[in-house]
Amino acid sequence: MKRIEDVHTFQAYSEPLISVLASLPAEEKVILVGHSLGGVTLALAADKFPQKISVAVFVTAFMPDTTHRPSFVLEQYCEKIGKEDDSWLDTQFSQCDESNPSHISMLFGREFLTIKLYQLCPPEDLELAKMLLRPGSMFIDNLSKASKFSDEGYGSVKRVYLVCEEDIGLPKHFQHWMIQNYPVNEVMEIKGGDHMAMLSEPQKLCDCLSQISLKYA
């Protein structure tokens, strides 16, 4: 619930999930599902608590590897996708802290939401998203200085990637690039799903998660 200006590291940003996992009984396991930037939080959590995670599910999410710094897939996205003329549309980028110029916030624009993220969602969900917008950050500079995720931690956890075929914000070809970069145990596809698959194709997403729970839990 903090302002993004008061969240200086990705570790701090991910603290709510880390706290939940730390509170679980030793014998309890969970299925973690990460969406979009939440994929990096998923990797961080899996690196810290691999024994508590049955499977990590990436839903059209950024998926780090254990070879490069945690920022690598985000940097590749900015290089491959983010430099296109219309990539960010009316998204606003701002410096959060004068004492730390590399701490950059981002606020998705209404046009960006409409065209890139929610284009197949019910209009009421898009309008609600516009009302609830708040700044976030990709924490690229902070993640570029962090240690690599380990093979013994994050790398030991089973992973499933759910490709959303109609995602424009995180395009299908980039989702497949991440899968090639760091192969997973299983790939599933959500046909007709845009970036917000939980709103554009909720039943298909639910079916995928049900199948995953039966197979991996």
Q: Is 167 a catalytic residue?
A: yes
Distant-in-sequence, close-in-space partners of 44: CB < 8 Å, separation ≥ 6: 10, 11, 14, 18, 70, 149, 154
Catalytic entry in 36, 71, 137, 200:
36
- Compute the distance between CA of residue 51 and CA of residue 62 in angstroms, rounded to an integer: 22
Q: Is 36 a catalytic residue?
A: yes
Helix axes 172-181, 72-80, angle to 10 degrees: 140
Do you know the residue count of the chain? 217
Tell me whether residue 10 is exposed, middle or buried, using C-beta atoms within 10 angstroms of its C-beta: 0 to 12, 13 to 18, 19 or more. Answer: buried
DSSP 190: E
- Which one-letter amino acid corresponds to residue 187? V
In degrees rounded to 5, what are phi and psi of residue 187? -120, 130
The catalytic residues are 36, 167, 195
